[in-house]
Amino acid sequence: MTTNSFPATFMRGGTSNGLMIHRSDLPKDESKWQPILSSAMGSPDPYGRQLNGMGSGISSTSKVCVISKSDREDADVDYTFVQVGIKDGSLDMAGNCGNMSSAVGPFALNERLVPHIEPLKDGIEVKVRMFNTNTSKILHSTSSIDGAESRYEPGGEYSIDGVPGTGSRITLSFLDPAGAKTGKALPTGNPVDMLQLEDGNMIKASLTDIANPGVFVLASDIGIPGDIHPDTLGSKAELMARLEHIRREGAKAMTLNPDVQSVPKIILLSPPSDADAADGVNIVCRALSMQQAHKAVPLTLALNLGASCRLPGTLADQIAVDTAGKESVVIAHASGRLEVGSAMVDGKIESALLHRTARVLMKGEVFYTVDD
């Protein structure tokens, strides 16, 4: 067993955190990343806690972004998102992560990966153009800089549910987000499909691919309340197994590999209560990620859901309230609320956007062990 290290920055992005690594500090051959990144995060760990690494035992904190300067004319940096399996140490690079994407722009600014910084607003905001290799999509990240050093400015008055305190607002714009993995917003061509389960029953599902693929089902069809607490949902082993089966059937219908846990994810939908609707909520969701009940909602799936509310006939469109004529949707999730926007032109999703905050937590050397 040999111990080595690599330089990295540990950052919070939205409601996730993870390691930010220069691509030049990892092997050129991505097939050699697995033992390095899994060990750095503390996986594999049969106890599910990742005490021997930088992870903390839940899917939203077992993440890595690998960043480099881009050779593309339409991007400043390229980045690859890596979801590290907690118990098995596998690396899943099938999809993107919206929360960690919000940390890429600030990291690129701090590490001087953006060759030409062009101030946008009073010289205090800049745009970083990012190419996500997982989905082959372009994102724009607009954030504040300190002015003097042109570094990311984390301080501000913007707050997001699920994160204490405030920070400067980061705006992420996902350009042409439809068909991130399948090439189509509706991979089957249908706003609603019927999935056959192993017990012979059928269930309605909207299979949509916007920013990241999702399998959307109604909480009422599963027999649970739409505002169920994640801990309660996660404690129901039989229900969780059934939801995983539904997710896998949805993946097959979308011609995706059902064995890949990161895409598609499954989301349970319900309409808001009258009180919440009066307070501006348009739709309620509960999310699963990597066979765990998510404490909030994966951002790319929130973007998917927000856009799906504007796709005629989908389950989201059917149950969302008061969305007519609006470009943004307020989603109530397990940790609060999230507003996501989408721009539609002639029925096509031109862009989707959301707001996050991010912060550098630590910078230094991360140690890992590999077999000799």
Nearest partner of 140 among 158, 114, 162, 161, judged by Cα: 114
Q: What is the pLDDT of residue 44?
A: 97
Rounded CA separation 190/208 (Å): 9
Query: What pTM was computed for the model?
Result: 0.88
Q: Is 175 among the domain residues?
A: no
Asked whether residue 125 falls in the same domain as residue 235, the answer is no
DSSP state of 60: G
Residue-number span of the structural domain to which 124 is assigned: 2-169+357-370
Asked whether residue 334 falls in the same domain as residue 366, the answer is no
CATH number of the domain residue 97 falls in = 3.10.310.10
Asked whether residue 153 falls in the same domain as residue 286, the answer is no
Rounded CA separation 301/16 (Å): 14
Asked whether residue 199 falls in the same domain as residue 334, the answer is yes
Backbone angles phi, psi at 172, to 5 degrees: -105, 130
Q: Is 270 among the domain residues?
A: yes
Asked whether residue 243 falls in the same domain as residue 139, the answer is no
Rounded CA separation 20/97 (Å): 13
Asked whether residue 202 falls in the same domain as residue 62, the answer is no
Structure tokens, 178: 């439809």
Asked whether residue 149 falls in the same domain as residue 246, the answer is no
In a structure prediction context, what are the per-residue pLDDT tens digits for the chain, which is 372 residues long? 899 999 999 999 999 999 999 999 999 999 999 999 999 999 999 999 999 999 999 999 999 999 999 999 999 999 999 999 999 999 999 999 999 999 999 999 999 999 777 777 666 889 999 999 999 999 999 999 987 778 999 999 999 999 999 999 999 999 999 999 999 999 999 999 999 988 889 999 999 999 999 999 999 999 999 999 999 999 999 999 999 999 999 999 999 999 998 899 999 999 999 999 999 999 999 999 988 999 999 999 999 999 999 999 999 999 999 998 888 999 999 999 999 999 888 878 999 999 999 999 999 999 999 987
Nearest partner of 32 among 262, 263, 370, judged by Cα: 370
**Is residue 84 a contact partner of residue 91, using CB atoms and an 8 Å limit?**
yes
Q: Is 183 among the domain residues?
A: no
Asked whether residue 267 falls in the same domain as residue 333, the answer is yes
For the chain, how many structural domains are there in total?
2
Q: Is 319 among the domain residues?
A: yes
Asked whether residue 136 falls in the same domain as residue 255, the answer is no
Q: Is 49 among the domain residues?
A: yes
Asked whether residue 121 falls in the same domain as residue 220, the answer is no
**CA dihedral in degrees (26, 37, 265, 141; nearest 10)?**
-40
Asked whether residue 24 falls in the same domain as residue 159, the answer is yes
Q: Give, rounded to a whole angstrom, the gap between the first and last alpha carbons of the chain.
A: 5
Asked whether residue 220 falls in the same domain as residue 299, the answer is yes
Q: Is 178 among the domain residues?
A: no
Q: What is the pLDDT of residue 240?
A: 96
Q: What is the pLDDT of residue 327?
A: 86
